[in-house]
Amino acid sequence: MDIVSYFSSLAKNNGDALLGVKAALLKFFWDKGFYFDVKKHLEAIFDEFTLNNMISIWAGRDVSILSEEPLFLDDDARELFGSILSSRALNMSAEKGSVIGRIYGESIPSSEKKEKGVVYTPEDICEYMTQIIAEGVKDTDRLFDPACGCGIFLEAFYDCLMARACVMESGEYVAAVHRRIIEENIFGADTSPQATAISKIILALRYHECVISDNIVCRDSLLSLGEELNGTFDFVVTNPPYVGHKQIKSAYRRKIAERYPSVYKDKADLSYCFFALAERLLKDGGRLVFVTGRYFAQSRFAEGLRKFIIDNFTVDEAVDFYGLRPFKTAGVDPMIISMTKGGSKGTFNAVKYDREMPFDLRTMRSSAFGITMNNSDLSADGFNFLSDTERLATERIVKKSPLSLADTVEFFQGVITGCDKAFVADSTSMLYFGCIDECGRKWIKSRDVQPDGIEFRGQYVLYTNGVDDIESLPQTLSKISVYKETLLKRRECIEGTRKWYELQWPRRRELFDEAKLVFPYKNDRSLFVYDEAGFYFSADVYGMRANEQFRGLLDLRKLALLLNSPVYDAYFKTFAKKLGGALYEYYPNTVKKMMIPPVEVINSFDSVEDVEAYFRE
């Protein structure tokens, strides 16, 4: 029977995330047999079924690690827990204390995890990061985890130090080292009181003598750590919370921006601040080891963070999961990065996930898997881990491409209606023939942009902007008036910048009516499609047309041939923002960075072979 699943289900079924933890901890004590005589104290535990009571019995003194309401188990509950204690299928005699943390992680409602950006670290990632920590660790080294959760990295560091200090020593010596590590070497913080309490317990469980850490605190590390900790740690290791700008309250965002102005601005992720915090906490020569969202490597809102890293750290190692999502419960694209504060600025090893090659974190560091790069190759414009082949191919393109897309075209986003139900009409229904005749424009979404052209599915957007009197469009008025109450609640209508019957963000008509290239904002390959049929499109599609300088000079069909070629598809992906699976992000701020040949060269291309031949010369 899967222990984690059983106890987390127990918690979920009772609506109490801690119930599974307490049941598992009691079973852990029972099966191990050497912490204290559980059978002797079972009635006292059932009479007050709390973590404090259980730990106090083990410690032989009053211990308070969590504010928790007393829970008296009735006869049915006692019978259930009695059956759990006697179950051989749930045997925990071979488990480490970290199983308690995994049970708690599985017991937290998914809505709460999403709100707080909580993502618990898979074991193979923890093992890989532990390998990095274990290299050259000293008995006196101190580690801090500023978002410690249930203490998976704290426990890993404990094991590194204990393995170094104790091999064949006596129990008395081991007890002294156990106490010293917990009291002097390991520090952590988390905003969850339950998680910090579990961290304390998991560390204490590493030995039968109960030592509860005072160095693991319930606190917001980004705002509440004292200056006395500056420059005092040899390691800062964490899996920071994954919280985007939309999930952060404005008052908190202002405080963070004031505290971390070099890395946090605009639409930056909260995790960026943990890099700056780590730099402050580390000694010179100290190590940062993070598993964090990989978007900081290419996001334009992370340019400040990348500059901060270049200015303050030497990258020692990086593992870019590059679309592989190892976190079971979150759509997170991670990267493991190890850096030294200051450092020599020499070479580092980078690994980028490749679907065609084996990717086993547990053996990777011993298999010479990856590419060697120089810290000097890193740029604030983006951290791109390129092989020699990729780098040379990119250099060939840039050498023969004096222009950028930003020099030659203008980009525009599709229409935001504010209520598709009101403004999108389907021509397959006779009900909408009238309003389509009045103001309908052919309407497509990203799924309709196909390699062989645009697939029109008979939908139209009712382009009502610029109409002075909606009464002049009676069929359209009949359709959209059903949604008038909803439309009036749009911000622009409340502020008086849009009439209730108008599209929320209509863009300029000529952008859609004239010849253009359209492309979906995310895709697994470059897909730029020529359109001269005047399609309008939703906000998941972008358009581009020649700017004023190159209008009439640049053949958009030939530009599409270039951009869709395998050569340019591979080129773009060397610096594009990678999403989950095989997807890449095609936002204009990245697309416009592509360098392109002179216009007369582009206009001369008739085939993909022409493109390849040009860059081979």
Dump pLDDT digits (tens) for 69-123: 888 889 999 999 999 999 999 999 999 999 999 999 888 877 666 655 556 777 8
pLDDT of residue 113: 60
Q: Does position 324 have pLDDT exceeding 60, yes or no?
A: yes
Q: Distance between CA atoms of 463 and 486, rounded to whole angstroms?
A: 18
Residue 169 DSSP code: -
Q: What is the pLDDT of residue 116?
A: 55
pLDDT of residue 166: 76
Mean pLDDT within 56-79: 92
Q: In the predicted model, what is the mean pLDDT of residues 420-438?
A: 92
User: What does the pLDDT average to over 348-355?
Assistant: 81
- pLDDT greater than 70 at residue 574: yes
Tell me which residue of 407, 394, 469 sits closest to 439, measured CA to CA.
469
Average pLDDT rounded to a whole number, residues 574-598: 91
Say whether pLDDT at 195 is over 60: yes
More confident residue, 611 or 120: 611
* C-beta separation of 201 from 51 below 8 A: yes
User: How much is the average pLDDT of 172-182?
Assistant: 91
Residues 6+ apart with CB under 8 A from 585: 521, 522, 576, 577, 578, 579
Give the pLDDT score at 515.
96
- 376-408: pLDDT as tens digits: 989 999 998 888 888 889 999 999 999 999 999
**Residue of 168 and 428 predicted with greater confidence:** 428
> Is residue 21 a contact partner of residue 110, using CB atoms and an 8 Å limit?
no
Write the CB contacts of 447 (distance below 8 Å, at least 6 apart in sequence).
Answer: none
Q: What is the pTM of this model?
A: 0.82
Q: Cα(446)–Cα(395) distance, rounded to whole angstroms? A: 32
**Structure tokens given for 152:** 């998976």
Q: Is 531 helix (H, G, I), strand (E, B) or coil?
A: strand
- Percent of the chain scored above 90 by pLDDT? 73
Six token digits for residue 194: 């339950």
Burial of 40 by CB count in 10 Å (0-12 exposed, 13-18 middle, 19+ buried)? exposed
> What average pLDDT does the segment 117-133 reach?
80
Coil, strand or helix: which one is 299?
coil
- Say how many residues make up the chain: 617
> Higher-confidence residue: 431 or 208?
208
Residues 565 and 560: their CA atoms lie apart, in Å, by 8
Q: Is 614 helix (H, G, I), strand (E, B) or coil?
A: helix
Q: Please give the share of the chain, as a percent, with pLDDT higher than 70.
A: 94
Residue boundaries of the structural domains of the chain: 1-111, 388-414+507-617, 426-448+456-503
Mark out the alpha helices in 440-520 (DSSP H runs).
474-480, 484-488, 491-495, 509-513
pLDDT at 48 over 70: yes
pLDDT score for 612: 95
608-616 own/partner pairs: CB under 8 Å, 24+ apart: 608/561, 608/565, 608/566, 611/561, 611/562, 611/565, 611/567, 611/568, 612/565, 612/566, 612/567, 614/400, 615/396, 615/397, 615/400, 615/567
Give the 3-state secondary structure of residue 68.
coil
* The pLDDT of residue 119: 65
Looking at residue 171, what is its pLDDT?
A: 74
Tens of pLDDT, residues 507-519? 999 999 999 999 9
The DSSP symbol for 578 reads: B
CA atoms of 490 and 485, how far apart (whole Å): 10
Which of 285, 336, 341 shows the shortest CA–CA distance to 141?
Answer: 285
DSSP H helical segments within 138-284, as ranges? 152-165, 171-180, 193-204, 221-224, 250-259, 272-281
Quick one: pLDDT at residue 110? 72
Which whole number is the average pLDDT over 205-211? 94
According to DSSP, the residues that pair with 453 across neighbouring strands are: 450
| pLDDT given for residue 149 in this prediction | 92
Tell me what the mean pLDDT of segment 358-387 comes to.
79
184 three-class SS: helix
Q: 286 or 351, which is more confident?
A: 286
Q: By C-alpha distance, which of 554, 501, 506, 557 is closest to 530? A: 557
Strand boundaries in 15-147, DSSP class E: 143-145
CATH architecture of 388-414+507-617: Alpha-Beta Complex (3.90)
Angle between helices 152-165 and 98-107 (to 10 degrees): 170
**Angstrom distance (rounded) from CA 601 to CA 604:** 5
pLDDT above 90: residue 609: yes
The DSSP string of 217-250 is: EES-HHHH--GGGTT-EEEEEE------GGGS-H
Q: Which has the closest alpha carbon to 403: 570, 559, 517?
A: 559
Q: Are 410 and 544 in contact (CB under 8 A)?
A: yes
Q: What is the DSSP letter of 365?
A: T
Q: Tell me the range of 15-19, 114-118, 337-341 where mean pLDDT is highest.
A: 337-341
Report the mean per-residue pLDDT for the chain: 91
Q: Which of 232, 199, 28 is nearest to 104 (CA)?
A: 199
Pair of tokens at residue 428 = 């397959």
In this predicted structure, what is the pLDDT of residue 204? 96
> Max alpha carbon distance in the chain (Å)?
93
The first and second tokens of residue 321, run together, are 């999961």
As a whole number, mean pLDDT of residues 348-369 equals 70
Which residues contact residue 127 at a Cβ distance below 8 angstroms, ignoring those fewer than 6 apart?
156, 361, 362
- Please enumerate, as own/partner, the contacts of 356-359 that have beta carbons within 8 Å and a separation of 24 or more: 359/324
How far is Cα 238 from Cα 234, in angstroms, rounded to an integer? 13
Q: Token pair for residue 204?
A: 């204490």
What lies within 8 Å, CB to CB, of 5 at 6+ separation is 106
